Amino acid sequence: MATTESFEDISADLARRRSLRYLNLFRLTMAAIFLFFGKSIGLGEEAPGLFLAFAAFYLFGVLALGFPDAVQRLGFNRVVTLQMLLDIAALTMMMAVSGGTRGGLPMLLTVLLAGGGLVGYGRWVLFYAASATVAVLAENSVRFLNRGEANDFFVVGMVCIGFFGVALTARLLATRALTNELLARTRGADLARQQAINERIIEDMHDGAIVLDANLRIRQANPQAAALLGTPLPIGEVMSDLFPALTGALADPAATSEGHQCIPEGGKPLRCRIVRAEGDAGHTVIYLQDLDEIQAQAQQIKLAALGRLTASIAHEIRNPLTAVTQAAELLGEEKRAESQAKLIRIINNNALRIEQLVRDVLSLGRRDRALQEALPLHAFVGELLDEFTLHGEADKAQVVVDIPESLTLAFDRAHLHQILWNLLVNARRYAPPTPGAIRVSADSDGGRTRLNIEDDGPGISAEHRVHLFEPFFTTHAKGTGLGLYIARELADANRATLSLRDSAAGAHFCLTGMSQP
């Protein structure tokens, strides 16, 4: 706060000193005109000698108080007050020997009071106006008492009122101008600091950044961009002349969202992403990333995820293997047929559990081989439900389908089949066996298709929602915990999203993807 106040005081002092400099130049010019040309313009006709003396006195006073030494010795406010009193006294005395207020001297005095309002401080402005009013009224009163030819006191009063109006108006305007100037300087300083911070952030960015104007000229580029491109980026150069391959990414619509891969001449493979500024500026920002580094990071993430997945698989397989081993040992010792059948059933169930686990893990390995096609949802879901509801008419009645025949979804056929199968298995597991307990519907919006699977089951608690799509999380005793995790992974592989939405009853899963590949 102290720094701001000192900054305001310095700005105000500089503005007042600058205004005083111009006001002193006006005073000096006016005093010289009075001294050398006063008689020729009709001033001092009643006492020419006194007028010249007053003009010389005024010129001397202006010169004496106008030097910087006067401000240093007496102080700024004292010098301003002495100058204003000098103006009032000199002009009033010259007015007394030039016909009073009928001449043009009161107008000059008004101008000087306006200048005093600009450089004055606080209530001193009112003091200057009051002093001028007293001096003019005194001159008019003396003229009336001595010569009986005073000017109209009403006119003189109006002139004096004008003194106050002009002085106060000038002071208010000066205060407002100073406030606006201070605000502009403060915002300019803040903008300069923000710009410096932004430039530092851009320079320290790990990715390359290039700013282009509407004519594709380089306005700014950080060192990382030059390092990735293998050459300096001079400010003002046209980007298309330096890197035609990189400039070609500007015409690629995918570069604004997913990024564009390019290999500049003599450079390394890069991924560039385009961000266009809003408004009329037409600026464009190009972000550059090293593809080798991106792939290395992706590989590290993949290896880390694979390590966690392997550890989880080992843990999940250990339990059924232990059960199979124990059952096999007991089977060799057991002689009764009834116990042997029970042990064989345990072995078969756990073997099937291991097989399902391996099948789910293999599905993850096929996520990168998505072959998208525009699948007609109505026919595709109908065929899948025919396979899903082979158990009887009750199962068919449990599922209700509402999908327009014109809707399509860009998806790999095998991936979509597995996602819907997992979602329908979960829905049938928890939904009541009543007609319409499971609903499959679809709609489209802006080139994207939404496929909804809803059920009337108990729903999913808030505690379980957080871990719903995590691998090996399940609330079912015979579940592997990979169904929803694999469904979301396969959705990501097809540039789609699988989410759990809020619903009044039961669970509501929504698969959203592009209508066309």
pLDDT digits (tens, 9 = 90+) for 44-101: 778 888 888 988 998 898 888 887 777 778 888 888 888 888 888 888 888 888 877 7
Residue 186 banded pLDDT, cuts 50, 70, 90 = confident
HSE (CB half, 13 Å, CA atoms) of 309?
19
Q: State the distance between the two ends of the chain, measured CA to CA, in whole angstroms.
A: 60
Per-residue pLDDT band for 7 (boundaries 50, 70, 90) equals very low
The sign of the torsion formed by the CA atoms of 418, 421, 423, 429 equals negative
**Whether residue 2 has pLDDT greater than 50:** no
CB 497 within 8 A of CB 491: yes
Residue 382 clears pLDDT 80, i.e. is over it:
yes
Mean pLDDT, residues 268-279 taken together: 72
Domain boundaries, the chain: 2-187, 207-293, 294-365, 372-514
CATH classification (class only), 294-365:
mainly alpha
Q: Determine the topology of domain 372-514 in CATH.
A: Heat Shock Protein 90 (3.30.565)
Q: What is the pLDDT of residue 220?
A: 80
Q: Chain-wide mean pLDDT for the chain?
A: 76
Q: Who contacts 373 (Cβ-Cβ below 8 Å, separation ≥6)?
A: 410, 411, 412, 413, 517
Domains 207-293 and 294-365 share a fold: no
pLDDT bucket at 148, cuts 50 / 70 / 90: low
State the fold for domain 207-293.
Beta-Lactamase (3.30.450)
Q: What is the DSSP letter of 38?
A: T
Structure tokens at 66: 């106008």
Predicted confidence at residue 5, as pLDDT, reads 45
Q: Which two tokens stand for residue 496?
A: 């789609």
301 band by pLDDT with thresholds 50, 70 and 90: low
CB-count exposure of residue 72 (10 Å: 0-12, 13-18, 19+) = exposed
User: What is the pTM assigned to this prediction?
Assistant: 0.40
Rounded (5°) CA angle 213-217-218: 90
Distance CA 274, CA 258 (A): 9
Cα 12 from Cα 495, distance rounded (Å): 62
Any idea which residue has 């009887």 for tokens? 392
- Mind spelling out the 3-state secondary structure of 364-411? HHCCCCCCEEEEEHHHHHHHHHHHHCCCCHHHHHHEEEECCCCCEEEE
